Amino acid sequence: MILTKISKDGLDIQNCRGQAYDNAAVMAGVHTRVQVRIKSINPRAQFVACTNHSLNLAGIHAASEAVQSVTFFGTVEQVFVFFSSSTHRWGTLTAVTGQGVKRLIETRWSARHEAVEAFKNHFSDILNVLEKLASDTNENIVTRSEAGLLLKALQSLSFLCYLGLWSQVLKEVNDAQNYLQTKGLNIEQCATKVPALQEFLVGNRNSLVDNAFSYAKKLCDDLSIDLEPRRRRIRNDIFGNGSQGAVLSYEDELRREMYTLLDRIIQEMTSRFQQLQDLSEKFSFLTPSKLLDPQYVCDLGGTTDEINQAEFLVERQRLQQFIGASDRHESLKNEGPLELLRFIQEFSLGISVPNIVIMLRLFLTLAISVASCERSFSKLKLIKNYLRSTMTQLRLSNLAILSIEQTMTNRLSFDDAIKDFATRKARKIFCEFLIFSNLLNKS
């Protein structure tokens, strides 16, 4: 299908130098999947897994590592379902908090940040609303029972601890995902942001867990929450290895799960972004600080076979001499490849250094994210939810188009659209009136 579409649009697959997909196995598989089949036709088409999807999958797998973490996100989703399934409940919540709770969306990890942040900012208010609904005799039995169950789940130690932990982690993950969706971003910048997030998680591994427990205990003191005592868990010794049974408190078990969770997300980021790091290192010689340094040895091996290294080195020396004679030598050294390419275009140096221009264009146009292309699929859950299950396909498609093309939609004048609609309907009524009048006259 991809090859047919490319051919239909008048493009040549042999001119492709980069391909990027999400991390679905059918697209990113390393044996017989799409990116492998494209590379078998054109080996120069470098594959880059979508950085946003990679980070999203790292978070999803880490969240499913611990049982209590799965329970935490399940409870957050159940609270959203409970309030959003009734306008009365939703109105009761918004009257107290001023805003509703957020839902979880698997394809957008930032949705989890918004959901957890809303919980953290209005946790006491949500508890009060649930307590009110559970104790109000005017409410039906379903509302009262569900509110009581959710109230008990929210006042557990595991939920409070994971609320404190995920609010810290998701804040940094969301910041990284927003950065990775910035327009004009290149591989070098992505390969710098991802290790920065990883370094934050590694360096603050212990403090993140300690802060989560401190936050939970502070909530219990401020809101007078009485936690139910939990039994100690006894780990039986393994037969024949001489070990003794270990007795762990519930808090120790929670800490162990949290450390496992953080280790999983760190390990996932290391493995999923290794290819990005390798590509960044291959093209690192194109940064002005290295390309303009006469002492640095440029090696084109592994990047492309279309450029002759001897010609590239001659052009590099030519470019160094030209920039050295200009007044922007020092400023360019501290800037990126895009600024260097703009400098070459500004002074019309493309004829003198064509191979350097080709390498810069290849490096800067490698796709690093396809999140913007798939954001429309997340919108479908917001447009057609279970309260709008009877929406027709035509209306759903039209609303989806309006959401996807929101830049153009925001420029539309609703007054003009309403006037045009009213005019067309009025003309139709007038024509029907004339036809009916003619029929009466003939009769």
Mean pLDDT of the chain: 82
pLDDT for the residue numbered 417: 78
Is 203:393 a contact under the CB 8 Å cutoff?
A: no
Residue with tokens 């009769």: 443
The reported pTM is: 0.74
pLDDT for the residue numbered 276: 85
Parts of the chain with a pLDDT under 70: 107, 109, 227-248, 302, 371-382, 385-389, 425-443
Q: For 319-383, give the DSSP string.
A: HHHHHHHSS-HHHHHTS-HHHHHHHHHHTT-TTT-HHHHHHHHHHHTS----HHHHHHHHHHHHH
Q: For 71-113, give the DSSP string.
A: HHHHHHHHHHHHHHT-HHHHHHHHHHHSS-----BTTBHHHHH
pLDDT for the residue numbered 201: 92
Is 335:290 a contact under the CB 8 Å cutoff?
A: no
pLDDT for the residue numbered 262: 92
Task: Give kind and range of the element (H or E) at residue 19.
Answer: strand 18-21
pLDDT for the residue numbered 433: 55
pLDDT for the residue numbered 329: 76
pLDDT for the residue numbered 263: 92
pLDDT for the residue numbered 289: 85
